[in-house]
Amino acid sequence: MIEVREVANKKELKAFVKFPFSLYKGSKYWVPPIIKDELETFNKEKNPAFLDADATFLLAFRDGKIVGRVAAIVNWIEVKEQKLSKMRFGWFDMIDDLEVSKALLDKVAEIGRSHNLEYMEGPVGFSNLDKVGVLTEGFDHIGTMITWYNHPYYEKHLIHHGLVKEKEYLENKFPFSNVKPEFFERVQNLIKKRYQLRPLNFTKTKDILPYVDEMFDLFNASYASLASFVPINDIQKEYFKKRYIGFINPEFIKFIVDKDDKLVAFAIVMPSFAEALQKVNGKLFPFGIFHMLKARRKPKNITFYLIGVHPEYQNKGLTASFLWNTT
């Protein structure tokens, strides 16, 4: 028999965070999160997402042992302002047992019905800056720190329980050996001349900070048309600014401005921390931080973490400028 219980204290919340560490123990491809960061994400006193959202963290037990987890999320901006009668669920992990996944999803649905919501969507987080989706192919490739990796049976479970695919995202690998600098330079120069644009490059974090709020405003404008998009508010801007901007190498943050110095596109590119995170195994201290710093200084691979382009400039080749300046 499966028992699903709501996380009731800090000890159980830590067990919620650490469950995937046992589920994926020995995996060459799963990338563990930083435990401290995950706990902060779920801390209602620290994460401003809770100002506009409620979350219930659920654990599934069999014979006293944890066999699954899920976060049931109601984003009230989505429900009240966007008029979407939607229940979100994320951080969805379980053993390969349909009874377990059914018990977890049934509980999410029960919570949704208690709020008079009509359907659920997932796996997603609180906002579009959280991880999203379930992996359906590419299981023999190492994951990234910005996407969820999962066992192949997850898709089977979701389909079996009546969920249908709503969107599909593709992740591509682009070897630098395939880059033809002369092509990107030519395209970049053409775009700059045609639209009177210029790139902004940085070497110091303090020079980026005056643009960060404008970057988040552009993020909101870039993705506003997505069905699952929830805008980032001013409080969340400050939270993400303090949490992430200082850690990112400023040379990997690229902006494009128009003739009036208005930001029209941005790209946040990060070293791939996947292998370093596997070595860290959830804990930065006492020695894990050195693996992260080494990956930051001497990356073998980089990840396009986030790209935003103003709707007026979408589909006009601005990404060529990012590729040129990054390579």
Among candidates 319, 310, 327, 301, which has minimal Cα distance to 144? 301
User: For residue 48, is the peptide bond before it cis, meaning its omega torsion is within 30 degrees of 0?
Assistant: no
Cα–Cα distance for residue pair 237/153, rounded to 1 Å: 36
Q: Determine phi and psi for 170, rounding to 5 degrees.
A: -110, 135
24: CATH: 3.40.630.30
Cα–Cα distance for residue pair 259/247, rounded to 1 Å: 30
Under 8 Å between Cβ of 184 and 324: yes
pLDDT for residue 245: 81
283: CATH: 3.40.630
Structural domain count, the chain = 2
| Tokens at 255, concatenated | 């902006």
Write down which residue in 106, 127, 160 finishes a domain: 160
* Residue 170 located in a structural domain: no
- Phi/psi class of residue 282: alpha, beta or left (left: φ > 0; alpha: ψ in -120 to 50)? left
Cα–Cα distance for residue pair 185/111, rounded to 1 Å: 53
Q: To which residue do tokens 């987080």 refer?
A: 125
Q: How would you write the pLDDT of the chain (327 residues) with one tens digit per residue? A: 999 999 999 999 999 999 999 999 999 999 999 999 999 999 999 999 999 999 999 999 999 999 999 999 999 999 999 999 999 999 999 999 999 999 999 999 999 999 999 999 999 999 888 999 999 999 999 988 788 999 999 999 999 999 999 888 888 887 767 666 666 677 677 777 788 888 888 889 888 888 889 999 999 999 888 777 888 888 988 888 888 787 788 888 889 898 999 999 998 888 888 998 999 999 988 888 888 888 877 777 888 888 899 999 888 777 766 655 554
* Residue 79 located in a structural domain: yes
* Residue 167 located in a structural domain: no
Shared domain for 7 and 143, answered yes or no, is: yes
pLDDT for residue 120: 96
> Is this structure's pTM higher than 0.75?
yes
| Tokens at 202, concatenated | 């940085």
Beta strands in 37-195 (DSSP E): 53-62, 65-75, 86-94, 119-121
Shared domain for 140 and 194, answered yes or no, is: no
Write down which residue in 104, 133, 160 finishes a domain: 160
Determine the structural domain holding residue 267 and report its residue range: 176-326
- 83: CB partners within 8 A, 6+ apart: none
**In 3-state terms, what secondary structure has residue 269?**
strand
pLDDT for residue 323: 55
Beta bridge partners of 216: none
